Amino acid sequence: MTVDSSSGHKPVPGSGKEAKHEGKDRPDWTNGLRRLYDSVVEEELPDSFKDLLSQLDTKD
């Protein structure tokens, strides 16, 4: 996982609770959106990507 993803969790001045993912009055779908994204992030990488990445070095 990338480290920079944590930056969005910090409260942004002037934006109040909107920039945070945590919070009591957050609607369920905010969590759902996050899960939708995370469910893809957590998928095992298909072989086609491993192949492509391993071929990159030869493309130069």
Partner 1 sequence: MGVEKRTASEKADFKRELTDVVPHLRAFARGLCGRADMADDLVQETLLKAWAAQERFQPGTSMRAWTFVILRNAYLTDMRRNRFRGEYDETVAERILTAPAGQEEPIHLSDMHRALLTLPPERREALLLVGAGGFSYEEAANICGCAVGTIKSRVGRARAALNTMLAEGAIPRRSLDDDTAHRAILEELDDVAAGQGVTARN
Residues near partner 1 (CB under 8 A): 1-2, 4-10, 12, 15, 18-19, 21, 27-43, 45-46, 48-49, 52-53, 56-57, 59
Two structure tokens written together for 5: 């993803």
Q: Shortest distance, CB of residue 39 to partner 1, whole angstroms? A: 7
Q: Shortest distance, CB of residue 27 to partner 1, whole angstroms? A: 6
Instruction: List Cα–Cα distances, 3 to 6, 16, 33, 34, 41, in angstroms.
Output: 6, 23, 20, 17, 14
Q: Shortest distance, CB of residue 21 to partner 1, whole angstroms? A: 7
